[in-house]
C-alpha cells in the first residue's frame, strides 16, 4: 500500500502511480462538480515530469459546454475578417482608422513565437501559483499581465523586451501616429484560462476625467464640456502579439468595429446583441499582431479550448498624449536596447542608482 498526501488529503493506492493519475483520484474522491472544474490539474508527461500549469486543462466541464463549443465553432468570428500583410501600410492604416483595430500577419518569426510563448508560460505559472482557485483579476479565469505585476508591467521580462525590437512594428506605428515620436506606456497584455465560460463585459481601456479623482489616470478634461477623448485622433494604441493561434474557441478578443469615436453608452452583457458577442478577431495565426485603438469597445470571450490563450502587448501613447507612467525597466536592461527602442521607452526606465522591484501579485499597486 502506498499513501500519498495531496492538499492535506490522504490517498491510499495499491502501488506507485504517476502524478496525473493521483490527481484524478484526488478529484474523484474529494472534489464536488464545481471544485472539479476549478481544480488546476497538472498533467504529467511520459517521463512523469511536471509540465507548465499554463498547459493544463479542465478535466470536466458543464454539460452545455460541448453545445456552446459547436455554436462558437459555427458562428464565432468577424465575417470576412481581413488579415493584412505588414507591407500593406496603406491598407492597415485605412482599416485601423475605420474599424479601430487591424490584424497583421507574420510579424514574429517561429523563434520569436516560441520565446514569447515560453516567456508568457513562465509568468502565467507564477501568477497562477498566487491564485489557486483561478479567480482571476479581470473576471473569472482572466488575468492582466500588467495587473499581475508589482510594476504594472512586464517590461522587465526578456520576452516583452524582445517585442520592443521589431522594426515592422515601428514602421506601422510611425504610419498610424503619423510621427515617430510616440512613447511606450507599458508592456502588459492579458491571458485567459481554458474552461473560462463567461464573456467579459465590453469596455474601453481609456476614459474621460473622473470627478472622484481617485485615479491618476483618465485626466483628459475639457472644462467647456465640448470635446471628449472620443472626438480626438487616436491617443493610445495597444499592439497585442499572438504567441499561439487564436481560434473560434480559445477566447478570441471581441472588437466592435467603428466604436472608437462613439459616444454611445457601452452595452452591458445583458444589453449586448448576439452579433457583438460573435464579433471576434479570429481565426488569427500565431506570430500576428492585433493593433487596437483602445477606445474601441472590446472584451474577452469564452475559452472553451484546452489551453491558455495569451495576448501579451505593448502600449503606446500618441506624441501629444500623456498620462502618468510607471517605471518598468532597469537602467542596465534599458542600455541593452537599440537606440530606437530606447527612444520610445525612455519614460519607463528606472534611475541608474535604483533597482527595480518586480514580481508577481494578483493586485498591482
Ligand X SMILES: O=C(O)CCC(=O)C(=O)O
Q: Which residues pair with 191 in a beta bridge?
A: 143, 310
Rounded to a whole number of angstroms, the minimum distance from the CB of residue 269 to ligand X is 14
Alpha-carbon distance of 160 to 243, in angstroms, equals 12
Closest CB 44 distance from ligand X, rounded Å: 29
Q: Which residue of the chain is nearest ligand X when measured via CB?
A: 253
Q: Which residues sit opposite 50 in a β-bridge?
A: 44
Of residues 193 and 356, the one with the C-beta less far from ligand X = 193
Stretch near ligand X under the rule CB under 6 A, chosen from 30-38, 292-300, 316-324, 342-350: 292-300
Residue 113 or 193: the one with the smaller Cβ distance to ligand X is 193
Q: How far is the CB of 82 from ligand X (least distance, A)?
A: 19
Query: 82 near 282, Cβ under 8 Å?
Result: no
Determine contact, residues 255/279, Cβ cutoff 8 Å: yes
- Rounded to whole angstroms, what are the CA distances from 95 to 222, 279, 293, 313? 29, 16, 11, 20
Q: Is there binding between residue 253 and ligand X (CB under 6 A)?
A: yes
Cell numbers placing 199: 464573456
- CB nearer to ligand X: give 279 or 356: 279
- CA gap 215, 222 in Å, rounded: 18
- Considering only 9-17, 49-57, 296-304, 334-342, which stretch makes contact with ligand X by CB under 6 A? 296-304
Least distance from ligand X to the Cβ atom of residue 138, Å? 4
The candidate with the shortest Cα–Cα distance to 240, out of 176, 310, 295, 185, is: 310
- Interface pick for ligand X out of 144, 149, 244, 247 (rule CB under 6 A): 144
Does residue number 298 form part of the binding site for ligand X (CB under 6 A)? yes
Q: 53 vs 148, which CB is nearer to ligand X? A: 148
Handedness of CA 52, 55, 60, 62 (dihedral sign): positive
Q: Is 300 in the site for ligand X (CB under 6 A)?
A: yes
Select from 192, 256, 289, 304 the one that contacts ligand X (CB under 6 A): 192
Q: 190, 272, 315, 330: which one contacts ligand X (CB under 6 A)?
A: 190
138 binds ligand X (CB under 6 A): yes
Tell the burial category of 292 from Cβ atoms under 10 Å away from its Cβ (0-12, 13-18, 19+): buried
Burial of 354 (0-12, 13-18, 19+ CB in 10 A): exposed
Nearer to ligand X, 140 or 343 (CB): 140
Cα distance between residue 245 and residue 283, in whole Å: 7
Residues 26-55 that bind ligand X (CB under 6 A): none
The site for ligand X (CB under 6 A) is made up of 138, 142, 144, 190, 192, 200, 253, 298-300, 311
Amino acid at each position: 500500500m502506498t499513501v500519498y498526501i495531496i492538499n492535506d488529503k490522504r490517498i491510499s493506492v495499491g502501488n506507485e502511480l504517476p502524478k496525473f493519475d493521483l490527481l484524478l483520484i484526488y478529484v474523484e474522491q474529494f472534489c464536488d462538480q464545481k471544485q472539479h472544474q476549478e481544480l488546476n490539474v497538472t498533467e504529467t508527461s511520459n517521463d512523469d515530469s511536471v509540465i507548465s500549469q499554463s498547459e493544463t486543462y479542465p478535466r470536466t466541464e458543464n454539460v452545455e459546454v460541448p453545445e456552446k463549443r459547436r455554436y462558437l465553432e459555427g458562428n464565432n468570428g468577424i465575417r470576412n475578417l481581413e488579415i493584412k500583410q505588414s507591407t500593406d501600410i496603406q491598407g492597415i492604416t485605412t482599416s485601423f482608422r475605420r474599424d479601430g483595430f487591424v490584424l497583421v500577419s507574420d510579424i514574429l518569426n517561429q523563434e520569436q513565437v516560441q520565446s514569447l510563448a515560453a516567456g508568457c508560460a513562465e509568468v502565467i505559472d507564477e501568477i497562477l501559483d498566487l491564485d489557486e482557485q483561478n479567480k482571476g483579476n479581470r473576471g473569472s479565469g482572466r488575468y492582466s499581465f500588467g495587473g499581475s505585476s508589482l510594476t504594472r508591467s512586464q517590461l522587465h521580462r526578456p520576452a516583452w523586451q524582445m517585442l520592443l525590437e521589431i522594426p515592422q512594428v515601428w514602421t506601422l506605428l510611425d504610419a498610424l501616429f503619423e510621427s515617430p515620436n510616440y512613447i511606450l506606456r507599458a508592456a502588459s497584455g492579458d491571458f485567459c484560462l481554458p474552461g473560462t465560460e463567461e464573456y467579459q463585459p465590453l469596455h474601453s481601456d481609456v476614459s474621460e476625467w473622473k470627478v472622484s479623482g481617485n485615479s491618476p489616470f483618465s485626466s483628459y478634461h475639457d472644462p467647456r464640456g465640448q470635446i471628449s477623448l472620443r472626438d480626438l485622433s487616436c491617443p493610445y494604441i495597444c499592439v497585442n502579439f499572438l504567441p499561439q493561434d487564436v481560434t473560434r474557441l480559445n477566447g478570441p478578443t471581441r472588437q466592435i468595429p467603428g466604436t472608437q469615436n462613439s459616444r454611445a453608452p457601452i452595452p452591458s452583457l445583458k444589453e449586448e446583441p448576439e452579433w457583438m458577442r460573435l464579433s471576434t478577431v479570429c481565426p488569427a495565426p500565431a506570430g500576428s499582431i492585433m493593433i487596437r485603438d483602445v477606445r474601441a469597445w472590446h472584451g474577452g470571450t469564452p475559452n472553451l479550448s484546452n489551453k491558455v490563450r495569451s495576448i501579451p502587448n505593448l502600449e503606446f501613447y500618441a506624441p501629444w498624449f500623456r498620462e502618468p507612467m510607471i517605471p518598468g525597466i532597469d537602467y542596465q536592461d534599458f542600455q541593452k536596447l537599440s537606440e530606437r527602442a530606447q527612444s520610445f521607452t525612455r519614460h519607463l526606465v528606472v534611475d541608474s542608482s535604483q533597482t527595480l522591484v518586480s514580481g508577481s501579485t494578483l493586485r498591482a499597486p
